[in-house]
């Protein structure tokens, strides 16, 4: 609704938190490229399912799948696209997890070059 009201472009990004392929090389029976293909195809299917039919009437959503550290990829894509707003669904981590690891939302809010709207998922 925000994109429609602002006559903006709607881009949906899903980041697969992917381990570097060199770390997977120690498992010769594992096919990282094949597995990544399956994971990204499923992520795209899920993203497509999130778009309400009425949104397709006023825009052509840009669906993207990326592999890497989620906050880095979100910031990279937002900067590349010169995004005016980043909207993030927030999944609550416990206080210990936030203390030890931080959160994607924390990193994005602190480092984004544009406003960030968080929505409790």
Count how many domains the chain has: 1
Name the token pair of 13: 């990004």
Expressed as residue numbers, the domain containing 105 is: 2-120
Question: For residues 22 and 107, is the Cβ–Cβ distance under 8 A?
Answer: no
DSSP per-residue letters across 62-100: EEEEEES-HHHHHHHHHHHHT-S-EEEEE-PPPHHHHHH
Question: For residues 47 and 14, is the Cβ–Cβ distance under 8 A?
Answer: yes
Condensed to tens digits (0 to 9), the pLDDT of residues 68-106 reads 999 999 999 999 999 999 999 887 666 655 554 568 888
* Mean pLDDT of the chain, nearest integer: 85
**Is the CA virtual torsion 66, 68, 74, 80 positive or negative?**
negative
- The domain that contains 52 carries what CATH number? 3.40.50.620
């Amino acid at each position: 609704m925000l994109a429609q009201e602002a006559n903006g472009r709607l881009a949906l990004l899903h980041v697969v938190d992917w381990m570097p392929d060199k770390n997977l090389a120690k498992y010769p029976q594992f096919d990282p490229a094949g597995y990544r293909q399956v994971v990204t195809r499923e992520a795209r299917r899920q993203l497509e399912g999130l778009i309400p039919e009425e949104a397709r009437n006023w825009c052509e959503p840009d669906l993207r799948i990326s592999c890497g550290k989620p906050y880095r990829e979100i910031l990279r894509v937002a900067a590349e696209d010169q995004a005016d707003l980043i909207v993030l669904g927030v999944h609550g981590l416990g206080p210990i997890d936030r203390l030890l690891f931080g959160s994607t939302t924390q990193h994005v809010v602190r480092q984004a070059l544009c406003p960030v709207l968080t929505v409790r998922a």
